[in-house]
A and B are shown apart, each in its own frame.
Chain A
Amino acid sequence: MSLLELRDVSTEYTTDDGPLRAVDSVDLELEAGEILGIVGESGCGKTTLMKTVLNLLPTNGSVVGGEIEFDGRDLTRLSKSEWQSVRWAEISYIIQNAMNALDPVYTVGTQFVEIIRAHTDDSKATARTRAGDMLEKVGIGRARLNDYPHELSGGQRQRVVVALALALEPPLIVADEPTTGLDVVTQEEILTLIQDMQSELGSAMIIITHDISVVAEVADRTGVMYGGELVEVGDTVDVFKNSAHPYTMGLTNAFPSLADDTARLVSIPGTPPDLVTPPEGCRFAERCPFATAECAEDPPVERVGDRHTARCHYTDQAATFREESAREDTWIRESDR
């Protein structure tokens, strides 16, 4: 049985323009110990998906359909007090901006002790020892327990946030853009740290990012979101090498690589759909070079391989699309030629 299973989950925000469906009918499974990367561009719904799982939606947002089964319970039905015992102990999270994740007026040690003691019977001293051990595991001396967040460098703060998320050895960790804003060297350190700690503790993890290279490097499974929908999901190698959705192909071809002598990169013309009034049928059709009249109908979720699905009418032509999508002129619209 999966550790986490999302079935037909939809989340809406109320806005002045009407309801905005940021996450639309998402099905997703995560096995224990697996790392799942969710990629997509701004506004695709990836952060809302994370907040939905964590029950951290803002007041104008709510889950309007579906079930989120975690370890035998439906997370959408948990009470506030049940959530308090689940958060950190069973599901913890790493947010994007480490400075915001830590309270600036408390020392690092105090923040660890508070979280550990809220979920265990540890004495203050035991909790502090445990916190010190954790800091050492993430490569920061235990002396840093007495430091305030501002006394740490950006990379150190992010390490502290990782340590905090792992302190209670939760079976599931959700990380939102854990390395965005860090420079490459620090990013590399944090990614390596996350992978090492994850494999040591055996926690499952969801990493949300706009950076497909982060996902390529750490994730076992990859999900691609577009316009509130999960358009493709599968083992990372399959999603990158045997992409079945044209949007995934566009994303991977738009990314400059250090490895090859880059011919011109492709760019995906147009902009993502407005989610207050989403288009009928396939949401990517308007920007898709392979779209036909049929794409005005809702595309089916097709199985294209072992644990690999894509939401497209033409998954049977994916191999041809992959070839054509690597060429820049495929993506140039007729009207712009």
Chain B
Amino acid sequence: MSAEPLFRVRNLQKYYPVREDDGLFNLNFLGEPKQLKAVDDVSFEINRGEIIGVAGQSGCGKSTLGELLVLLQGATGGDIQFRGTSVADYTAAERKAFRRECQIVFQDPYESLNPRFTVSQTVTEPLVVHDIGDAAERDERVREALSDAGLSPAASYLDKLPAELSGGERQRVSIARALVVDPLFLVADEPVSMLDVSIRTEILHLFEDLQEKRDLTMMYISHDLSTINYLADRTMIMYLGDVVELGPTRSVIRDPAHPYTEALLESVPMADPEQGRVGTDRTASDIRGDVPDPVDLPSGCRFRTRCQYATDRCSAEDPTLDDFDDGRQVACFYPVSDGDA
């Protein structure tokens, strides 16, 4: 994948001002307004045709990152380049074209569909918005998207309302709505976490097939490392707005290098009563305490307050995301893996 990446993200930031109840900006000790750093100085690339998994606990900034990438939210700093052009330089027309090429599917299929729209209206709407095709062509594209999303025969779903569909079917409608405009890139934010196990598998299979059939590039956001392990080519681990580890899924999950990744993996319950959690060389790496206040981040490494390997250096310096081993980057002074060496 030496070709131009689909996305090149540099120093991306999303800071939210923090307002106290009195309506005044809360100031920090430098007299600056306090900010919540939801995404803090994040740089990475997304290659064409890959599925990149993003994992982390609630509040780590993974959903914000997904929304920034499809321009649902504006960044407060940094740069997003899509196919070589910075999205900040887009004209209105280019922006609209971008919104067609990059789509998002949300977690909750009960909230993300208009209850008064039939399936056909829901899936046709993006074509109307982007002024694609005439009535006949739209109808054909809607049917194709529905059947690609696994709703077949498509005709039997066209006139249904969301209330008449199961959770899995609703999520497929959301996916069809994203696919109908033939996107290059899809963000899927926890798309299966509300679905039952057997339906979850079908949706995961659907994503696999779409990657192959439509050459779709995807960002798959989830707190569930086992589905990421199944689906993603590369995996990004986030902690408090920062990327702590990024690399091929196999190495990140089999041989985690960042202590946070290691702890996260050890928390995943295994569907096998005879097996403990995924073992790593060092055991019992419990994460201590709670996630710190994202408004008052610790100095240096933001994971150090909970890290069992932290030293003075970790509070003095902020580790950068550096190359670690083949295709992997880690932001830690004391990685817990030996890497390829």
Contact = CB atoms under 8 A, between A and B. Distances in A.
Interface string B217-243: 000000111110110000000000000
Contacts of A265: 201, 204-205, 230
Contact of B198 (A154, A191, A214, A251): A251
Most buried by B among A241, A255, A256, A271: A256
Given A42-B196, A184-B267, A188-B267, A262 B230 contact: yes
> Chain A interface residue count: which class?
35 or more
B264 A217 contact: no
B40 to A, nearest CB: 19
B267 to A, nearest CB: 4
Contacts of B263: 185
A240 B198 contact: no
A41 interface: yes
Contact of B273 (A185, A237, A267): A237
A190 B174 CA distance: 33
Given A256-B226, A256-B229, A258-B265, A216 B272 contact: yes
A156 to B, nearest CB: 8
A36 B270 CA distance: 17
Interface in B112-167: 166-167
Given A42-B167, A258-B278, A267-B198, A213 B269 contact: yes
Contacts of B287: 185
Given A183-B58, A184-B225, A262-B229, A257 B201 contact: no
Given A213-B270, A258-B253, 18 more contacts: A41-B198, A42-B167, A184-B264, A185-B57, A185-B264, A185-B287, A210-B196, A211-B269, A213-B268, A216-B271, A217-B270, A217-B273, A237-B274, A241-B273, A254-B198, A256-B204, A267-B199, A268-B198
Interface of B: 57-58, 166-167, 196-202, 204-205, 223-227, 229-230, 253, 263-275, 278, 287, 290
Interface of A: 41-42, 153-155, 183-188, 191, 210-214, 216-217, 236-237, 240-241, 250-252, 254-259, 262, 264-268, 271
27 contacts: A41-B197, A41-B198, A154-B58, A184-B223, A185-B267, A188-B266, A191-B269, A211-B269, A216-B273, A217-B269, A217-B270, A236-B273, A241-B273, A250-B198, A254-B197, A255-B197, A255-B226, A255-B271, A256-B201, A256-B226, A258-B225, A258-B226, A258-B278, A259-B275, A259-B278, A265-B204, A267-B199
